[in-house]
């Protein structure tokens, strides 16, 4: 157990906890004088990872690099632990210290309950780890569900706008299969976000989602597919709805030729503005007189 020198205590502690546990961590980490006066040495092997820590993997090369630095300079910033020797902040430093062969490391002990431990683990993950958008959305959901926080409170805790929180959390309205694809980096937020407008049309959503996976549609192409579908519903001309594959090919040809292209009812239409533009398109198609 820690050789306790006394709980970290200074004016305003209760007020800071009233705001967010992450705030007090920031105060401690940025106030070297207070940190130095309240740190104690603990057995590095007695420390336990935060049970709520979402981050489970650490890059070996980064840990080895940090371990080499610790061998030379020691641990400059104390880790922060609770009274159970669970790591609140500094798990990466702790792992590197073990690699460096240290037996003891400096630590500051805080009295935290399970809710505060969970809150900090989630918030630290959001602020310090390069999360995917869908991972960020899941983290916000945990803050909302587990700690009963409203979006305004989450925004205050993580230092982001309420609109950002709301927009990211909307991704959780997508079918699980789409969310899983985002987690697996198969599709991006840009590709997935337009699908939110058709969550009430499962067949269309699944069709376009399949196109995204098979043809790596851009966000603009996904939006166009949805727009064409909505337009067909408005006009009632279901027979003229273009298949996703047709719209994909139109967009592909437009990018290649740099002009409007339409595939409709057995016709391929390529627009050009003047004779020079026509010659440019013909040259791109390999149809110039030189051939």
DSSP string, 159-209: T--HHHHHHHHGGGGS-HHHHHHHHTTSS-HHHHGGGGGGTT-HHHHHHHH
Rounded to whole angstroms, the Cα distance separating 254 from 271 reads: 10
- Residue 91 a catalytic site member: yes
SS3 sequence of the chain: CCCCCCCCCCCCHHHHHHHCHHHHHHHHHHCHHHHHHHCEEEEHHHCECCCCCCCCCCCHHHHHHHHHHHHHHCCCCCEEEECCCEEEECHHHHHHHHHCCCCEEEEEEECCCHHHHHHHHHHHHHHHCCCCHHHHHHHHHHHHHHHCCCHHHHHHHHCCCHHHHHHHHHHHHCCHHHHHHHHCCCCCHHHHHHHHHHCCCHHHHHHHHHHHHHHCCCHHHHHHHHHHHHHHHHHCCHHHCCCHHHHHHHHHHHHHHCCCEEEECCEEEECCCCHHHHHHHHHHCCCCCCC
CA distances from 55 to 7, 110, 178, 225, 227 (A): 27, 21, 22, 37, 39
19, 62, 86, 91: the catalytic one is: 91
Rounded to whole angstroms, the Cα distance separating 107 from 89 reads: 10
Annotated catalytic sites, by residue? 91
């Amino acid at each position: 157990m820690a050789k306790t020198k006394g709980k970290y205590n200074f004016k305003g502690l209760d007020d800071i906890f009233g705001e967010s546990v992450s705030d007090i961590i920031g105060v401690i980490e940025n106030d070297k004088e207070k940190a130095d006066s309240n740190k104690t040495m603990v057995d590095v092997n007695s420390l336990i990872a935060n049970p709520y820590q979402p981050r489970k993997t650490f890059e070996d090369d980064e840990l080895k690099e940090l371990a080499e630095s610790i061998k030379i300079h020691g641990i400059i910033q104390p880790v922060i632990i609770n009274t159970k020797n669970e790591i609140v902040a500094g798990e990466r430093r702790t792992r590197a210290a073990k690699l460096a062969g240290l037996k003891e490391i400096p630590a500051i002990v805080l009295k935290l309950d399970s809710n505060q431990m969970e809150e900090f683990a989630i918030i630290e993950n959001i602020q310090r780890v390069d999360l995917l958008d869908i991972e960020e959305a899941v983290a916000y959901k945990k803050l909302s569900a587990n700690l009963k926080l409203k979006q305004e409170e989450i925004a205050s805790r993580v230092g982001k706008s309420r609109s950002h929180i709301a927009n990211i959390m909307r991704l959780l309205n997508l079918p699980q299969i789409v969310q899983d694809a985002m987690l697996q980096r198969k599709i991006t937020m840009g590709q997935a976000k337009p699908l939110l407008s058709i969550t009430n049309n499962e067949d269309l959503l699944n069709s376009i989602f399949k196109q995204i996976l098979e043809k790596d549609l851009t966000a603009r192409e996904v939006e166009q597919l949805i727009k064409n579908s909505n337009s067909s519903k408005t006009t009632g001309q279901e027979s003229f709805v273009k298949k996703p594959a047709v719209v994909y090919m139109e967009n592909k040809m437009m990018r290649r030729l740099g002009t409007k292209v339409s595939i409709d009812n057995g016709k391929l239409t390529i627009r050009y503005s003047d004779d020079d533009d026509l010659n440019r398109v013909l040259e791109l198609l390999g149809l110039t007189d030189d051939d």
